[in-house]
Amino acid sequence: EDKVVQSPLSLVVHEGDTVTLNCSYEVTNFRSLLWYKQEKKAPTFLFMLTSSGIEKKSGRLSSILDKKELSSILNITATQTGDSAIYLCAVEAKGSKLTFGKGITLSVRP
């Protein structure tokens, strides 16, 4: 059975700190890994990482896929209170099904 594990489960930091969120996976027929940010309801798409694109960056957010270690990290630099959210990692396997981790709750204090 496909599995995605995220750590830590929750994190509290102060504005300006840098955070690293972890995701590891065991998936048959891996196709891609995705990061989402969930604030109230709908998860919003952040990054998709594949064998042909193992590093992505957008502003203060960046993500790396390590296919050898079957893991990914999401880095957020110079955190702001607006970064407070649940960060979900999901892995797409053959058959297009997404398997999600439980999510990491990030709280950024002023």
Among 90, 91, 106, 108, the residue binding other proteins under the rule CB under 8 A is 90
User: Tokens 């955190």 correspond to what residue?
Assistant: 79
Minimum gap (Å) between residue 109 Cβ and other proteins? 21
Contact call for residue 108 and other proteins (CB under 8 A): no
Q: Please give the backbone phi and psi of residue 70, each rounded to the nearest 5 degrees, phi first.
A: 55, 55
Compute the distance between CA of residue 39 and CA of residue 84 in angstroms, rounded to an integer.
8
Q: Is the peptide bond before 110 cis (omega within 30 degrees of 0)?
A: no
Contact call for residue 28 and other proteins (CB under 8 A): no
Footprint of other proteins (CB under 8 A): 4, 31-32, 34, 36, 41-45, 48, 88, 90, 92, 95-103
